[in-house]
Amino acid sequence: MKKDFLAISDYSPADLQEMLDLAVRLKKEHFNGGNPPLFKGKVLAMIFQKPSLRTRISFDMAMRHMGGDALYISPDEIGLGKRESIADVARVLSGYVNVIMARVFSHEHVLELAKWASIPVINGLSDYNHPCQGMADALTIYEKFGNLKGLNVTFVGDGNNVAVSLMHICSKLGANFTIASPEGYDMPEKAITDAKTFASASGSQLHFLRDPHEAVKHSHVIYTDTWTSMGQEAETEKRKVVFPPYQVNAQLVSEADKDVIVMHCLPAHRGQELTDEVADGPHSVIFPEAHNRLHAQKAVLYKLLEA
């Protein structure tokens, strides 16, 4: 197991599957009387440049469930890379706590934290990827279908950080991944190149389309995300013009497999990328998916603190 959890792409299919199986076990254990206090005496420092409901609470509760503790560090408290250098922050925290989770704007920031920290660093989100969300997504799909191999997973919308991690875990574990995105909102070339390498090993098929209706044919999973992510607020009005054809609504869902599940990492802008009818409908798993952040991250923490 690697020291840090920075990207899905860093891990082998066997490592990823092992963490998914561990997440399933820890989740069952939690609901059957609680997890043993394996993290007793362990502390997680949580650095936030961006606010988050799910990331903060799920990591905090993951530590508590396992007998550990978590410290929330707000954006203004350390001014990561501004008031104090990232290298200094990493080395100071390494003497105080056992593991660091950072939710940042720039992917370079989390890479630099990991470079200088002598303890594990977890990427809680960056502008490039969102591996913690990717693990929760894979866990949700795994619970529903019993496997990822051969499933058709379709992402509809912006080729963003969430899409990158979803594509990478699909291509690692053998699910076919399709994305339908408007021109100018494609996934990063590096992410695609890496996914093609993973897909060639796993047998996964990758498709990059413009038409969402074509993309969802035979899909077992439809995934969407907000049209405008944090840090892109200046583009909001432009994106509101570009993305309406990519809304996940009842019509689009009806064109997929009859047992399709609809996923969203939240927060959702209802009426934009996702309708209420779909978000609250029979195909939606967005709340079990959100709850799985807790259990997937518990598995990641377990593996890092065990090493």
The active-site residue out of 130, 220, 239, 283 is 130
132 is catalytic: no
265 is catalytic: yes
What separation in angstroms does the CA of 306 have from each of 44, 67, 119, 172?
14, 14, 12, 24
280 is catalytic: no
- Residue 6: CB atoms within 10 Å: 23
The active-site residue out of 60, 265, 295, 297 is 265
The active-site residue out of 49, 133, 247, 297 is 133
Cα separation, 135 vs 40, in Å, equals: 24
220 is catalytic: no
127 is catalytic: no
> Of 120, 102, 106, nearest to 52 (Cα)?
102
What separation in angstroms does the CA of 268 have from each of 56, 215, 225, 252, 293?
17, 21, 7, 17, 16
- Residue 183: CB atoms within 10 Å: 7
Q: Give 92-161 as a 3 state SS string.
A: HHHCCCCEEEEECCCHHHHHHHHHHCCCCEEEEECCCCCHHHHHHHHHHHHHHHCCCCCCEEEEECCCCH
Contacts of 125 (CB under 8 A, 6+ apart): 50, 52, 55, 103, 104, 132, 133, 161
293 is catalytic: yes
Identify whether the C-beta of residue 287 lies closer than 8 Å to the C-beta of residue 302.
no
The active-site residue out of 54, 103, 283, 295 is 103
- Residues recognised as catalytic: 103, 130, 133, 225, 265, 293
